Amino acid sequence: MHSFHYNNGSLHCEGVDLQELAKQHGTPLYVYSQATIVDHFTRLDSALSEVDHLVCYATKANSNLAVLNLLAKRGAGFDIVSGGELFRIIQAGGDPSKCTFAGVGKARAEIQYALEQGIGCFNAESEAEVQRLNDIAGEMGKKAPVALRVNPNVDAKTHKYISTGKSDNKFGINFENIPDAYARAAELPNITLRGVQMHIGSQLTSVDPFVEAVKKVTPLVEDLKNNYGIEFFSIGGGIGIVYEDSLASNEPSWWSPDSASDEQATPITIEAYAEALVPLLKPLGLTIFLEPGRLIAGNAGVLLTEVLYEKKGSSKTFEIIDAGMNDLIRPALYQGHHDIVPVKEPTSAETTPVDIVGPVCESGDFFAQDRELPKLSEGDVIAVLSAGAYGFVMASNYNSRPFPAEILVDGTESHVIRKRQTYDDLIAGELIPGS
């Protein structure tokens, strides 16, 4: 489901006119739909109802406190990867005992903080880490709850930067070494073995690699249950969303979101995912953890930005916008495609090829190249779609550009959930020696 539609000639998020939001709060501006976030979470949660499970939202996808709070209130657990994310979860009203702490490089201070806060489980990614967890827990007079992350050596068939389940990736412990690693961990006095975890990659566009990985790991999981009494199996995140042409149609208007729901073109629907995996997981008799990030937040957000200038090059037309790669880095980093639409509904079906580029001093600072778009003019506000996950969270202050504001829409109401950064914010914390 998505909640972005043209209404009276202007793109709306739920019941709120995005033109108005841009006018009121300025651009670049991230806008999220509460209804979409909640819908994705609750639908996934109910699709898994046949198995004991916990949806642990991958905090890294969109970690605004308001977003985390929406999910915490609905009973979500959280997949975290840093002490900072755990701090956010606690500030947002989340329960640390429903958090799993992933990541190949947990620092001593982060481990101590997580143990103090009663973390649900550490998903350990190496035997050296298990040893460190044991030592720190011992010093604190505690036991560290641990699951090992198994690297199943399955090809997720996604972009190489977001593929994590092959043996040449830095993630997890090799499938073959897992039995020995559990045996050694079980000997450690300050470790409680709680589960087993895997995550093969992100933005998967087919259920097949999930099925392949679960089938491959299932016998191992059964052994671990029998030998160590583990309680959960986390199958990670990775469900892909529609980025491209999801909303194209033959309607008179060149782009008509009302006529196409993103479900039709979603590479993996929630229902297809559950249908393929529940029968494989149910017989295990374990609690199944899921770690979706992009699925929950991706299509729930847009980045609004204004066209500053049009520049005709010798072979191209550039639309220069006020958002840059520092605000949304996915096109530059992963060649990620994001649909782009004018907020004012085009009245003609005519399009022209343009490059949508930002103001940052890098040639990689583009949002689209040779993209067929309706005629744009200076001052037009455009929406970069599917920017709710790995958007703001990956933003930087490069070129000393302040962070954009973030807005959460709920029906006909909108709430500022992060203020736009000021120039003073930009230099807060910097010191000139001797002054």
Q: Which residues bind ligand LLP (CB under 6 A)?
A: 58, 61, 79, 102, 162, 199, 202-203, 236-239, 291-295, 330, 334, 390
Beta strand segments in 63-199, E: 77-80, 99-101, 121-124, 144-151, 173-174, 191-197
Residue 4 or 390 with smaller CB distance to ligand LLP:
390
Reference 289, options 247, 235, 332, 251; nearest CA is: 235
Q: At what angle do helices 178-187 and 208-228 cross, to 10 degrees?
A: 30
Q: How far is the CB of 246 from ligand LLP (least distance, A)?
A: 16
Q: Distance between CA 144 and CA 198 in Å, rounded?
A: 19
Q: How far is the CB of 358 from ligand LLP (least distance, A)?
A: 17
Q: Distance between CA 235 and CA 290 in Å, rounded?
A: 6
In the Cβ-directed half-sphere of 417, how many Cα atoms lie within 13 Å? 24
Annotated catalytic residue 361: yes
Q: How far is the CB of 164 from ligand LLP (least distance, A)?
A: 6
Residue 306 or 339 with smaller CB distance to ligand LLP:
339
Task: Please provide residue 122's backbone torsions phi and psi, each rounded to the nearest 5 degrees.
Answer: -95, 130
Q: Distance between CA 156 and CA 116 in Å, rounded?
A: 36
Q: How far is CA 178 from CA 81, 125, 197, 291, in A?
A: 22, 11, 11, 21
Strands 232-234 and 287-290: parallel
Q: Distance between CA 29 and CA 323 in Å, rounded?
A: 9
Residue 306 or 365 with smaller CB distance to ligand LLP:
365
Q: How many residues does the chain have?
A: 435
Q: How far is the CB of 18 from ligand LLP (least distance, A)?
A: 23
Residue 27 or 234 with smaller CB distance to ligand LLP:
234
Q: Distance between CA 133 and CA 101 in Å, rounded?
A: 12
Q: How far is the CB of 419 from ligand LLP (least distance, A)?
A: 24
In the Cβ-directed half-sphere of 259, how many Cα atoms lie within 13 Å? 10
Catalytic member of 13, 56, 121, 361: 361
Q: How far is the CB of 427 from ligand LLP (least distance, A)?
A: 28
Catalytic positions, please? Answer: 361
